[in-house]
Amino acid sequence: DTEVTQTPKHLVMGMTNKKSLKCEQHMGHRAMYWYKQKAKKPPELMFVYSYEKLSINESVPSRFSPECPNSSLLNLHLHALQPEDSALYLCASSSTGGEGNEKLFFGSGTQLSVL
Amino acid sequence: AQSVTQLGSHVSVSEGALVLLRCNYSSSVPPYLFWYVQYPNQGLQLLLKYTSAATLVKGINGFEAEFKKSETSFHLTKPSAHMSDAAEYFCAVSGVGAAGNKLTFGGGTRVLVKP
């Protein structure tokens, strides 16, 4: 199994809603990532978990809250989002996340629309 | 900080023609460089990576890239374009040290293949 699975594929939410994005991998990878991609732009790193500990937070607003319950799962909790947060949210994983030369495996993303 | 610049946001090629996508990097240390491809409504997939083992790197789907330190370049080529090559292509560089698992993408190049 070389897949990263993200759910849901599409999400529409209001600015007062609370929702969560989920990501799962069963490749035994120990690093997991959240990226945000606006239309026609490259992905931008949000968070990195390495061995289930948050290792990188790219100064993301607190309305985005990551969680790594175990080595296979990564969640992104959303609360009080703004319309400009509408984007494709990509999850990725890599073997250990420490060497810099690792291949990232990406999920297909969750397309989020904030109304 | 590590960065990459992709020259040309759009490239149009005829089926069977050479595909050439340009990427220049900026790095204070020998970099790890990557090319990823993103098909519509999908996540990113690794085409190839440079990790200093060889300057000419062969990847999947017939793509290859050459690392040229003197030109700080890592251009991607494919001798003969197929219709299935139509996608967005991203050059990327990884961080160093504690930021080794931080991948920074270039702006992307959209490839259109004409029949």
Interface contact A48, partner B, CB < 8 A: yes
B99: three-class secondary structure by DSSP: helix
Query: Cα dist. B14→A88, B11, B79, B82 in Å?
Result: 30, 10, 12, 9
Burial grade of B6 (CB within 10 A; 0-12, 13-18, 19 or more): buried
CB of B110 within 8 A of CB of B9?
yes
CA distance B5 to B106: 5
Residue B101 to residue A48, Cβ atoms within 8 A = yes
Residue B43 to residue A55, Cβ atoms within 8 A = no
Per-residue confidence band for A99, with pLDDT thresholds at 50, 70 and 90: low
Residue A90 to residue B43, Cβ atoms within 8 A = yes
pLDDT tens readout for residues B38-85: 998 889 999 999 987 789 999 999 999 999 999 999 999 999 999 999
Residue B62 has phi, psi (to 5 degrees) of 80, 5
CB of A107 within 8 A of CB of A7?
no
pLDDT tens readout for residues B78-97: 999 999 999 999 999 987 77
pLDDT tens readout for residues A36-95: 999 999 999 999 999 999 988 889 999 999 999 999 999 999 999 999 999 999 999 998
**How far away is chain B from the Cα of A5, in angstroms, using its nearest Cα?**
11
CA distance B60 to B44: 13
Interface contact A25, partner B, CB < 8 A: no
End-to-end CA distance of chain B: 41
Cβ atoms within 10 Å of A87's Cβ, excluding its own = 20
What amino acid is encoded at B38 in this protein?
Answer: Q
CA distance A38 to A15: 18
CA distance A108 to A101: 22
Interface of B with A in 82-111 (CB under 8 A): 90, 94-96, 98-108
Residue A108 to residue B41, Cβ atoms within 8 A = yes
